[in-house]
C-alpha cells in the first residue's frame, strides 16, 4: 500500500490547483482522475477561451443554502491572487466585460498552468484510474483503485458537479458524501437553457435565433443580459443566469425594453403620427418578434393613430411584463454547472473539511456553492482549493 500525505480525487480545476498548492507546501500528493483526457471542462469553458475568473467576485454572486460559506475562502484567495499566477505563466488575457477575464488564445493555457504548478509541487498522477472503495482508517483514509491501494491522512474530493456527463462528470462525490453521513442539498442543473411545453412554445419557435437585451426576473434573481429565443425555449446569458434561481413551477418576468417607459413612448409617438404601429415598435425591438407579437394581439397592419390609448398601454405592459412559465430545462446534458451538492453546514468554511470526518475535504463544484455566469465558478474552484491546500 503506497503512502501519501494527501490524496486528491478529480483532476479538474479545483483538484489540480489544490494538489499543486499542497505539493508546493511540501506535502506528498497523489492526484487521481478517471478520465482519459485532462481538464476537459476547462478546455470547453468560456467558448474555448476559459473565463478563468471575475475581478468582482464576492459572496453576492454565489448561490448556496448557506450564502456566507464562501466568504472566507474567497477573501483568502482572490481573483487578483489567481491572476498573479496567470501573469507568472505569461498567459495573455483580456477583460471581456463586467470583470470577466478570458484567455487571449485558448483554455489550454490554463490547463498548462495547472499542470506546471503540479510539476512544481512534485504531484504524482494516476490517470485514467478508477477508485473502487474509500475507507476511513485510524489517522486517515485508504482508497482502493484499479492501480492499487493508497493511504493518506487527508483525502480531498474534487470530482466536480454533474453537468455534461459525456466528458466525465459524475455524482461520485455526492455518493461518497452520503456514504460518509454528510447531508446533501439536492443537485439540479444550473446555468442551463429553459424549455417550454411544445404547444405553448409553438408560436415562438419560428423566432429561433432572435436575440435582444432584456431585464429578466425570477424569485430573487434579476439580470440585464441578452436573451436568445431557440426552437425549444429560451437561452442566452440572461436565461442561463436566471436558471440558477428557477425551480419547476416558477414564472419568469421579462422586460423586453429595460429602463424604458414604452407606454409613454407610444402615446407620444401617436401624436399627429401616420406611421404603422409595426414601424414604430420595430425601431425598438427585433422586427420578427414585433410582427409576431402584434399578430397575436390583432394589431398587425394597424396605424398607430387608430389604436386606442388603453390598447397601447396594455401592449406596452405586455412587452415590459412578459410572464413565462418554463416547463423544464435542457438538463445536465447542456448545463454549465450543478446547483446544490455537499451541504456546507457539514463543512468548515476555513478548511473545507467535513467537521465530523477528520481528514475528508470537499472543494469546487461538488460543494453547494454555485456562481453566476462570468468566471465565478472557476474562482470558487481556485479559492476553495487554496483553503483546503493550506489545511491538508
Ligand atoms: P471539474 O473541473 O468538473 O473537475 C472534476 C474532475 O473530476 C474531472 O476531471 C472528472 O473527470 C473527475 N471525476 C469525476 N468523477 C470522478 C470519479 N468518480 N473518479 C475520478 N475522477 C472523477 N466556469 C467559469 O467560471 N468560467 C467559464 O468560462 C465556464 N465555462 C463553462 C463552460 C461549460 C460548457 C461548462 C460545462 C462549464 C463551465 N464553467 C465555467 C463551469 C466550470 O467549468 C466548473 O465550475 C469547474 O470546472 C468546476 O471545477 P471542479 O474542479 O470542481 O470540477
**pLDDT per position as a tens digit, 281-327:** 999 999 999 999 999 999 999 999 999 999 999 999 999 999 999 99
Cell numbers at 286, concatenated? 427585433
Q: Residues 34-51: pLDDT tens digits? A: 999 999 999 999 999 999
Q: What is the 275 CA–ligand 1 centroid distance (Å)?
A: 53
Sign of CA dihedral 48, 53, 56, 60: positive
Confidence band, pLDDT 50/70/90 cuts, at residue 250: very high
CB of residue 158 inside a 6 A radius of ligand 1:
yes
237 lines ligand 1 (CB under 6 A): no
Residue among 156, 160, 387 whose CB has most ligand 1 atoms within 8 A, to mutate: 160
Helix/strand/coil for 20: helix
How many other CB atoms sit within 10 Å of the CB of residue 308?
A: 9
Residues 6+ apart with CB under 8 A from 262: 284, 316, 319, 320
Q: Does 171 contact ligand 1 (Cβ within 6 A)?
A: no
The sheet with strand 360-362 has its strands ordered as: 124-126, 29-32, 6-9, 154-157, 360-362
What pLDDT digit, counting tens, does each position of 185-226 carry? 999 999 999 999 999 999 999 999 999 999 999 999 999 999
Q: How far apart are CA 246 and CA 234, in angstroms?
A: 13
Where do the domains of the chain lie, and which CATH numbers do they carry? 2-187+338-391 (3.50.50.60), 194-329 (2.40.30.10)
Angle in degrees, CA 108, 111, 117, rounded to 5: 140
Percent helix, strand, coil in the chain, to 5, is: 35, 25, 40
CB-count burial class (<10 Å; 0-12, 13-18, 19+) for 110 = buried
Considering only CA atoms, which of 145, 142, 111, 140 is closest in space to residue 127? 145
Ligand 1 near 365 CB (within 6 A): yes
Q: What is the pLDDT of residue 272?
A: 84
ipTM summary value: 0.99
- The closest residue, in CA terms, to atom 31 on ligand 1 is 45
- Residue 312 CA to chain centroid, in angstroms? 39
| Ligand 1 atom nearest to 377, measured from its CA | 25
Amino acid at each position: 500500500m503506497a503512502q501519501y500525505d494527501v490524496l486528491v480525487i478529480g483532476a479538474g480545476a479545483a483538484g489540480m490547483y489544490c494538489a499543486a498548492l499542497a505539493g508546493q507546501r511540501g506535502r506528498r500528493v497523489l492526484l487521481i482522475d478517471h478520465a482519459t483526457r485532462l481538464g476537459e471542462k476547462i478546455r470547453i469553458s468560456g467558448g474555448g477561451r476559459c473565463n478563468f475568473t471575475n475581478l468582482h467576485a464576492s459572496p453576492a454572486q454565489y448561490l448556496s443554502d448557506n450564502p456566507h460559506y464562501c466568504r472566507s475562502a474567497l477573501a483568502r484567495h482572490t481573483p487578483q491572487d489567481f491572476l498573479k499566477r496567470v501573469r507568472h505563466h505569461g498567459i495573455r488575457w483580456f477583460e471581456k466585460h463586467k470583470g470577466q477575464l478570458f484567455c487571449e488564445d485558448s483554455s489550454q493555457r490554463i490547463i498548462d498552468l495547472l499542470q506546471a504548478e503540479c510539476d512544481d509541487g512534485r504531484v504524482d498522477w494516476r490517470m485514467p484510474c478508477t477508485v473502487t472503495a474509500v475507507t476511513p482508517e485510524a489517522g486517515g483514509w485508504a482508497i482502493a483503485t484499479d492501480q492499487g491501494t493508497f493511504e493518506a491522512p487527508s483525502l480531498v474530493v474534487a470530482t466536480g458537479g454533474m453537468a455534461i456527463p459525456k466528458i466525465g462528470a459524475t455524482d461520485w462525490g455526492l455518493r461518497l458524501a452520503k456514504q460518509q453521513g454528510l447531508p446533501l442539498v439536492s443537485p439540479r442543473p444550473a446555468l442551463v437553457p429553459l424549455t417550454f411545453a411544445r404547444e405553448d412554445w409553438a408560436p415562438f419557435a419560428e423566432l429561433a435565433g432572435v436575440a435582444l437585451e432584456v431585464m429578466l426576473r425570477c424569485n430573487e434573481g434579476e439580470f440585464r443580459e441578452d436573451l436568445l429565443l431557440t426552437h425549444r425555449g429560451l437561452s442566452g446569458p440572461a436565461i442561463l443566469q436566471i436558471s440558477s434561481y428557477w425551480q419547476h413551477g416558477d414564472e419568469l418576468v421579462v422586460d423586453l425594453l429595460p429602463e424604458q417607459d414604452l407606454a409613454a413612448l407610444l402615446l407620444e409617438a401617436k401624436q399627429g403620427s401616420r406611421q404603422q404601429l409595426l414601424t414604430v415598435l420595430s425601431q425598438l425591438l427585433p422586427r420578427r418578434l414585433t410582427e409576431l407579437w402584434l399578430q397575436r394581439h390583432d394589431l398587425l397592419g394597424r396605424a398607430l393613430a387608430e389604436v386606442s390609448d388603453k390598447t397601447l398601454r396594455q401592449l406596452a405592459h405586455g412587452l415590459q411584463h412578459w410572464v413565462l412559465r418554463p416547463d423544464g430545462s435542457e438538463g445536465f446534458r447542456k448545463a454549465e454547472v450543478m446547483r446544490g451538492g455537499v451541504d456546507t453546514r457539514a463543512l468548515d468554511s476555513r478548511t473545507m473539511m467535513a467537521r465530523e470526518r477528520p481528514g475528508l475535504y470537499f472543494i469546487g463544484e461538488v460543494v453547494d456553492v454555485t456562481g453566476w455566469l462570468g468566471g465565478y465558478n472557476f474562482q470558487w474552484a481556485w479559492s476553495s482549493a487554496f483553503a483546503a491546500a493550506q489545511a491538508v
